């Protein structure tokens, strides 16, 4: 297994992230990108005007419970995330109106210092089929340093260059993950309901990390963070309760995914781990 200052890097660790992070040393990662369950609590099926069913996020992993349960869940992973973050490190988290304000309040209560909230404006959002509310066309990202006095990485010039020479703003218009980038299962259905677009992670990692940095994603999903980290020369540590998700990226190899250099243990013989080395615990080497 590859290591960086004695922590495993470029791996996916399987399990509950609050528990798995306990196995990582204090102050060992440079950046965290966390895309936690939003706890959507949708009430029943949603249909389009033509009566077709909307493929909504109704997975068990998103059903955390009531607000108290969600707060306990958030505190558990945020405390560990804070412990493993280097003093000048920073954390990004993303969410919707269902959860982001609760997570933001905890960040502040724990001593994180919010640097920006970024609006990801979706250029192709799903309509509000019932016509009872505004189209839900954005998600919110929070970028926070570990403390008020920390000096987190911000690649100002790179962002300006990416934005036609004009200072990058905090509202980013980017499409949702679709087309060839969207990982599909054998039936042609989405492999994961909330796969994030690489363009979003590209901006986050380019802006707030440097080559060689270790980026931790405690809710790895299909591993968008890992794929972009690899492309940008950063190391990643992914934690995922259901590591089967990440094998879709490995086995699907969409056009945007570079050829893999590493091959090791996979949870399913039919899903060769071409993109990511996967470990089921820190003790089992690739």
Residue nearest to ligand SAM (CB): 221
Pick from 30, 80, 181, 240 the residue near ligand SAM by CB under 6 A: 240
Confirm if 279 and 285 have CB atoms less than 8 A apart.
yes
Pick from 192, 203, 230, 235 the residue near ligand SAM by CB under 6 A: 192
Q: 115 or 246, CB closer to ligand SAM?
A: 246
Q: Is 28 in the site for ligand SAM (CB under 6 A)?
A: no
> What track of x and - describes contact with ligand SAM for positions 40 through 79 (by CB under 6 A)?
---------------------x------------------
Q: CA 285 to CA 8: how far, in whole Å?
A: 10
Pick from 245, 266, 278, 279 the residue near ligand SAM by CB under 6 A: 245
Q: Is 142 in the site for ligand SAM (CB under 6 A)?
A: no
Structure tokens at 161: 């260059």
CB of 192 to ligand SAM, least distance (A): 5
Structure tokens at 76: 């558990």
Pick from 242, 253, 282, 286 the residue near ligand SAM by CB under 6 A: 242
- Select the span of 41-49, 81-89, 149-157, 192-200 touching ligand SAM (CB under 6 A): 192-200
Cβ neighbourhood burial of 146 (10 Å; 0-12, 13-18, 19+): buried
Q: Is 221 in the site for ligand SAM (CB under 6 A)?
A: yes
Confirm if 180 and 201 have CB atoms less than 8 A apart.
no
Element (H, E) at 100: helix 100-110
Q: CA 105 to CA 26: how far, in whole Å?
A: 23
Confirm if 144 and 105 have CB atoms less than 8 A apart.
no
Q: CA 197 to CA 262: how far, in whole Å?
A: 23
Instruction: Give the interface with ligand SAM as residue ranges (CB under 6 A).
Output: 16-17, 35, 37, 61, 192, 194-196, 219, 221-222, 224, 239-242, 245
């Amino acid at each position: 297994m590859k290591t960086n200052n004695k922590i495993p890097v470029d791996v996916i660790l399987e399990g509950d992230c609050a528990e798995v992070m306990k196995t990582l040393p204090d102050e060992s990662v440079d950046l965290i990108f966390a895309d936690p369950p939003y706890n959507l609590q949708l009430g029943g099926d949603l249909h389009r005007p033509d009566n077709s069913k909307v493929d909504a996020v109704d997975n068990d992993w998103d059903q955390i419970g009531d607000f108290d349960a969600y707060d306990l869940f958030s505190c558990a992973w945020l405390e560990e995330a804070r412990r493993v973050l280097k003093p000048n490190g920073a954390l990004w988290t993303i969410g919707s109106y269902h959860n982001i304000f609760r997570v933001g309040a905890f960040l502040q209560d724990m001593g994180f210092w919010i640097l920006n909230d970024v609006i990801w404006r979706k250029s192709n959002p799903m309509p509000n089929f019932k016509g009872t509310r505004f189209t839900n066309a954005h998600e919110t990202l929070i970028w926070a340093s570990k403390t008020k006095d920390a000096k987190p990485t911000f690649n100002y010039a790179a962002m300006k260059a990416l934005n036609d020479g004009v200072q990058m703003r905090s509202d980013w218009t980017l499409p949702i993950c679709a087309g060839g980038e969207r990982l599909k299962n054998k039936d042609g259905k989405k492999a994961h309901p909330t796969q994030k677009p690489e363009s979003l992670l590209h901006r986050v990692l380019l802006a707030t990390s440097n080559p060689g940095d270790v980026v931790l994603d405690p809710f790895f999903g299909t591993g968008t963070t890992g794929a972009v980290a690899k492309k940008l020369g950063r190391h990643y540590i992914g934690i995922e309760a259901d590591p089967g998700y990440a094998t879709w990226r490995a086995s699907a190899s969409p056009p945007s995914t570079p050829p893999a250099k590493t091959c090791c243990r996979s949870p399913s013989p039919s899903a060769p781990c071409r993109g990511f080395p996967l470990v089921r615990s820190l003790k089992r080497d690739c």
